[in-house]
Amino acid sequence: MDRAEVDSRIRALIEPFNKKNLEIADGTTFAGDLEFDSLTVMDFVAAIEDEFDIIISMNQQAEIENYGELVSAVCGLVEK
Amino acid sequence: MSEGVIQSDQPAVRDAAGEDLFSKFDGIIRTREDLLAGGVEDPFNLVMEQVLSPTRAICNGRDTILLGTYNYMGMTFDPDVIAAGQKALAEFGSGTTGSRVLNGTYQGHREVEEALREFYGMDHAMVFSTGYQANLGIISTIAGKGDYVVLDIDSHASIWDGCSLGNAEIVPFKHNDIDAMEKRLRRIPDGAGKLVVLEGVYSMLGDVAPLREMVAVAKAHGAMVLVDEAHSMGFIGPNGRGVAEDQGAIEDVDFIIGTFSKSVGTVGGFCVSNHPKFEILRLVCRPYVFTASLPPSVVATAATSIRKLMSGGEKRARLWENSKRLHGGLKGLGFTLGTDVPQSAIVAVIMPDLERGAAMWEALLREGLYVNLARPPATPANMTLLRCSLCAEHSEEEVGTILGMFERAGKTVGII
């Protein structure tokens, strides 16, 4: 699965969580720009995990601050 | 719940003037000041000047019924328990001044571990200085680098902190969701060690976990299972061993974590297990090794209390009666509760918001009733809760009085 496909699938998943209808760029941050609280993070992460059949542990989540980092992390996990 | 997960979002830009390490607390300082500015008594600064019984105290100068102490079995004033503590205090002194592995293991520590082994019918018992340290120590020690801890998102802070202290990969799943847990277990790479961490009763809403199903799924995926039974010991299950026993799953549970600070009526924590190598934990578990052991009087009261809980059938029946009566009464008055039916000795009353929750808490205190005010981030789904925990020693009349207090306070604050 290439980065473009991962990107487009995550873009579709993020929509219901993007309450402010922000334009999502690689630099868009989850806590700051999208204002995700811990409950939203849990639901959003679960949606991605189910879509790609992967685990994003909390240790990995702690390293992910913006959209681009999330796409990279998922690409890495899907490859494994 | 998720005290240990991600904290609420902080503003990215801060005023540079007067900024130091404490600036990160400005948000919570403001929330607290706003709350108290409304003239509410501080819900987190209550003082009990006198404690009259397991169910009564003088709080902030008022004679108060206690309905938020986790003193489920009312053992704190049991004459045998007190006598055992006094005897140990006189014979062994006020404290051990030592770690369990050095000079801090007295006869009493051995005796309370013996009482726990008998109570749970398990081969091993290890006593910690608090329940918090038991979770902290066991989880951080047995799940190491490369292992996975799969846990309920509503787990207690001590479980989250045990995860933070260790080096394992941490994977939470939606509260009590068997399917979500199964999916995460299935995705763990082959060969990795797996620990599933569950609770019998979740203390915020007082709801019980479907342990029979969850433990079976965990075992099918080759995971070890740890269950925290802090809020069920003494009154759930045929022998009071907890929810796992009640649901017939205890044989497949590898570790049970518990506390002396609820039904047992003193302070301390423990882990019981049948694992053949369990005893090695006494040498490798840092929150066990690098802290002072419990005072002799505490372990003596705990051992006496645990042995009395083995035959506490009558008290258990009274506690369940009280829980059902309070739950049914509050529901009848029109309050929204954490569970549809009473599942434990915790009855959580859901408040519309923090402001009215705090007002209700204060109105109840003025009526002469103490309950716990629980607020985000300690609560699931950012709810504000008035948490009631019953005691076997609450009389039928007291439960009636409590319902009257809730009715008046609820109408004053405009919640019902």
How far apart, in whole angstroms, are the C-alpha atoms of residue A43 and residue A28?
18
Tokens of B231: 């809020």
At residue B31 the predicted structure's pLDDT band, cuts being 50, 70 and 90, is: confident
Class of domain B35-73+312-413: alpha beta
Helix, coil or strand: residue B195: strand
* DSSP letter for each residue of B254-310: SEEEEESSSTT-S--EEEEE--TTGGGHHHH-HHHHSSBPPPHHHHHHHHHHHHHHT
**A55·B171 Cβ contact <8 A:** yes
Residues, chain B, total?
Answer: 416
Q: Give tens-digit pLDDT for B277-295.
A: 999 999 999 999 999 999 9
**A32·B171 Cβ contact <8 A:** no
The secondary structure of residue B203, as a DSSP letter, is T
Tokens of B315: 């008290």
Helix, coil or strand: residue B204: coil
Average pLDDT, chain B: 94
A34: distance to nearest CA of chain B, Å?
Answer: 11
Partner residues linked to B388 by β-bridges? B347
B142: left (phi over 0), alpha (psi -120 to 50) or beta: alpha
Q: Which domains does chain A have, with CATH numbers?
A: 3-21+29-79 (1.10.1200)
* Parallel/antiparallel/unpaired status of strands B56-59 and B48-53: antiparallel
The more confidently predicted of residues B36 and A66 is A66
Residue A59 scores a pLDDT above 60: yes
Whether the CB of B45 is below 8 Å from some CB of chain A: the reply is no
∠ CA B114-B116-B119, rounded to 5°: 115
Q: Give tens-digit pLDDT for B352-392.
A: 999 999 999 999 999 999 999 998 878 888 899 999 999 99
Best A38, A66, A77 member to test B by mutation, with max B CBs in 10 Å, is A38
Asked whether the beta carbons of B234 and B305 are under 8 A apart, the reply is no
Instruction: Note the pLDDT of residue B5.
Output: 45
Task: Tell me how far apart the 2 most distant CA atoms of chain A are, in Å.
Answer: 34
Helix, coil or strand: residue B47: coil
Partner residues linked to B385 by β-bridges? B350, B374
Instruction: Note the pLDDT of residue B1.
Output: 46
Burial of B252 (0-12, 13-18, 19+ CB in 10 A): middle
CB atoms within 10 A of CB B33: 9
B176: distance to nearest CA of chain A, Å?
Answer: 14
A11: distance to nearest CA of chain B, Å?
Answer: 23
Instruction: Note the pLDDT of residue A38.
Output: 84
Among the partner-chain residues A31, A58, A59, the one whose CB lies closest to the CB of B9 is A31
B63 contacts: CB under 8 Å, gap ≥ 6: B52, B56, B368
Whether the CB of B269 is below 8 Å from some CB of chain A: the reply is no
At residue B324 the predicted structure's pLDDT band, cuts being 50, 70 and 90, is: very high
CA pseudo-torsion sign B349, B350, B354, B356: negative
How far apart, in whole angstroms, are the C-alpha atoms of residue B197 and residue B255?
9
B308 contacts: CB under 8 Å, gap ≥ 6: B75, B78, B80, B81
Q: Give tens-digit pLDDT for B121-141.
A: 999 999 999 999 999 999 999
How far apart, in whole angstroms, are the C-alpha atoms of residue B141 and residue B163?
10
A42: distance to nearest CA of chain B, Å?
Answer: 8
Asked whether the beta carbons of B158 and A45 are under 8 A apart, the reply is no
Q: Give tens-digit pLDDT for B249-275.
A: 999 999 999 999 999 999 999 999 999
- Using alpha carbons, select from B193, B191, B189 the residue that is nearest to residue B149: B193
Instruction: Note the pLDDT of residue B15.
Output: 55
Output phi, psi for A79, to 5 deg: -65, -35
CB atoms within 10 A of CB B203: 23
The more confidently predicted of residues B58 and B36 is B58
B351: left (phi over 0), alpha (psi -120 to 50) or beta: beta
**B174·A49 Cβ contact <8 A:** no
How far apart, in whole angstroms, are the C-alpha atoms of residue B216 and residue B253?
10
Instruction: Note the pLDDT of residue B36.
Output: 87
Helix, coil or strand: residue B373: strand
Place of tokens 């806590």: A31
Instruction: Note the pLDDT of residue B3.
Output: 41
Asked whether the beta carbons of A36 and A44 are under 8 A apart, the reply is yes
CB atoms within 10 A of CB B215: 25
Q: Which residues of B touch A41 (CB under 8 A)?
A: 6
**B183·A50 Cβ contact <8 A:** yes
Write out residues 343-382 of B within 8 Å (CB-CB) of A: 377, 381-382
Instruction: Note the pLDDT of residue B2.
Output: 43
Task: For residues B205-216, give the mean pLDDT.
Answer: 98
Instruction: Note the pLDDT of residue B11.
Output: 52
Instruction: Note the pLDDT of residue B14.
Output: 53
Q: Which residues of A touch B171 (CB under 8 A)?
A: 55, 57-58
Instruction: Note the pLDDT of residue B16.
Output: 62
Whether the CB of A27 is below 8 Å from some CB of chain B: the reply is no
Among the partner-chain residues B12, B153, B187, the one whose CB lies closest to the CB of A32 is B12
Percent of chain B with pLDDT over 70: 96
Instruction: Note the pLDDT of residue B13.
Output: 56
Query: Cα separations (Å) of A15 from A4, A44, A62, B83, B89?
Result: 17, 10, 22, 64, 64
Residue B4 scores a pLDDT above 50: no
A38: distance to nearest CA of chain B, Å?
Answer: 6
Whether the CB of A59 is below 8 Å from some CB of chain B: the reply is yes
Tokens of B244: 């796992």
Whether the CB of A19 is below 8 Å from some CB of chain B: the reply is no
The secondary structure of residue B11, as a DSSP letter, is P
**A42·B172 Cβ contact <8 A:** yes
Whether the CB of B165 is below 8 Å from some CB of chain A: the reply is no
ipTM: 0.94
Q: Which pairs count as long-range contacts for A43-50, CB under 8 Å and 24+ apart, including other chains?
A: A43/A17, A44/A13, A44/A14, A44/A17, A46/B173, A46/B174, A46/B180, A47/A13, A48/A10, A48/A13, A48/A74, A49/B183, A49/B184, A49/B187, A50/B183
The more confidently predicted of residues B254 and B37 is B254
B169: distance to nearest CA of chain A, Å?
Answer: 6
Q: Which residues of B touch A60 (CB under 8 A)?
A: 169
Instruction: Note the pLDDT of residue B237.
Output: 96
Q: Which residues of B touch A48 (CB under 8 A)?
A: none
Q: Which residues of A touch B163 (CB under 8 A)?
A: 58
Helix, coil or strand: residue B167: coil
* DSSP letter for each residue of A7-76: HHHHHHHHGGG-TT-PPP-TT-BTTTTS---HHHHHHHHHHHHHHHT----HHHHTT--BHHHHHHHHHH
CATH classification code of B79-309 = 3.40.640.10
Please state the domain extents for chain B.
35-73+312-413, 79-309
